[in-house]
Amino acid sequence: MPALLLECLTPFIVVFALIGAVIVSIRKRPDLWPPSFLTWERTAEARVIAVAAQLHTTVRLAQKPADYLGPFHLRLRQARRRFERWAAQPGNGLTLRVLIVAAVVLIAAAFGLLAPEDSLWHRLAAPAIVMTIAVVAVDALFRMRGDLLEKERVIRQMGSRNNHLALDAARTVIERGWHRDGSLAGICFDRADLRDLTMSSARLAGSSFMYAGLRDAELMFANLRSARLGSSDLRSANLSFSDLESAVLGLADLENASLGRCSLRDAHLEGANLRNAFLEHAEMEGVHLEQAIYDSKTRWPLDFIPPADAINWDTLGDTEREWFRQWRWYLGQDLDP
C-alpha cells in the first residue's frame, strides 16, 4: 500500500514542484526566461486587465437610476473596483492563472472523492488537494514578499531629493493607504524634496525630515509627535490640527505656515522662523522658543506672550537683520526682507 501511494504521489509532486519553480524563477529572475515567454506572460496579464476594464465599461454603461439595487449594488460595485485594482497590479496575472488552475484541480478532486474507493481517480483526489493547497500557499507567500519589497521601495523613493520622484511615490503611498497604517512612522526622509506634498491624516510619529523641503505642503491632522523637522523648509505649509508634541523644529523655516489648533506641547522651535505664521488656538504649553524669530504679523494664541529670549524681527536694525540673513543663508535658508 505505501508503495502504491508513493507511486501515485510522485507525478503530482514533480508537476507541482516544477510549477512552483517556474513561479519563483519568473518572480525573482525574469532575465533567465526567453523574451517570447515573458511577452506571452505580459500579454496574458494585459488581457486580464483589458477584460476587467471592459467589464467596468459594460457595467457602467448599463447603470441607470432604475438599475440601482441599493446596498447590494454598492457592494457589487466596490467588489468590482477592488478586483480591477488587484488585476492592474504587476504580477497578479500569473497569480490569477495559478488560482484558476487550482480551482479546476480542486473541483476534479472533489468529484474524485465521490468516485468508488477502489478507483484510481479516488486514490489521487486527496494528494491532488494537498498539493494544490501547497502550491497556492507558496504563491501567496511569494506575493506577500513581493508586496513588502515593493512597499519598501516606494517608501524609500519618497525620500528622494528629486521632487517628481518623491511626489510620485507619495501618491502611491496615499493610494494604498500606507500613510495611515503606521508604515511611515520612524522613517528617515532627511533632505527629501517634498514640496507641494498633500498627505492629510498621515501617521509620521518619530519620522525624520531634517533639512527636508516641505514648502506648501498640506499635512493637516498629521501625527508628527516626536518627529525631527530641524532646519526643514516649511514655508506656507499647512500643519493645522496636527500633533507636534515633543517635535523638533529647531531652525525650521515656518514663515507663512499655518499651525492653527495644532499641539506644540514641549516642542522645540529654537531659532525657528515664525514670521507671519498662524498659531491661533495652538497648544503652546512647554514650547521652547529660544532665539525664534517672529514679527508683528505672527498670530499667537489668545493671551500668549512670546518669551523674552525670542527675537522680534520688527525691532531689529538693518545690521542685525543682515547678520541673520547671512546666518540663514549659511544654513541653506532665505530670510526675505
Q: For residue 233, what pLDDT is reported?
A: 93
Q: Where are the alpha helices (DSSP H) in 159-209?
A: 163-175
CATH number of 179-337: 2.160.20.80
For the chain, the helix, strand and coil percentages under 3-state DSSP, each to the nearest 5: 50, 10, 40
Q: For residue 192, what pLDDT is reported?
A: 95
Q: For residue 211, what pLDDT is reported?
A: 92
Residue 179 per-residue DSSP state: T
Q: For residue 127, what pLDDT is reported?
A: 77
Distance CA 199, CA 177 (A): 11
* Cβ neighbour number for residue 261 with a 10 Å cutoff: 17
pTM here is 0.66
Cell matching residue 282: 495652538
With helix as H, strand as E and coil as C, how does 31-78 read? Answer: HHCCHHHHHHHHHHHHHHHHHHHHHHHHHHHHCCHHHCCCHHHHHHHH
Domain(s) of CATH 2.160.20.80: residues in the chain: 179-337
Q: What is the mean pLDDT of each run of 10 residues along the chain (337 residues)?
A: 52 59 55 49 51 51 45 70 67 65 72 73 74 74 80 94 95 93 94 95 95 95 96 94 95 94 95 94 94 94 92 89 76 59
Q: For residue 317, what pLDDT is reported?
A: 87
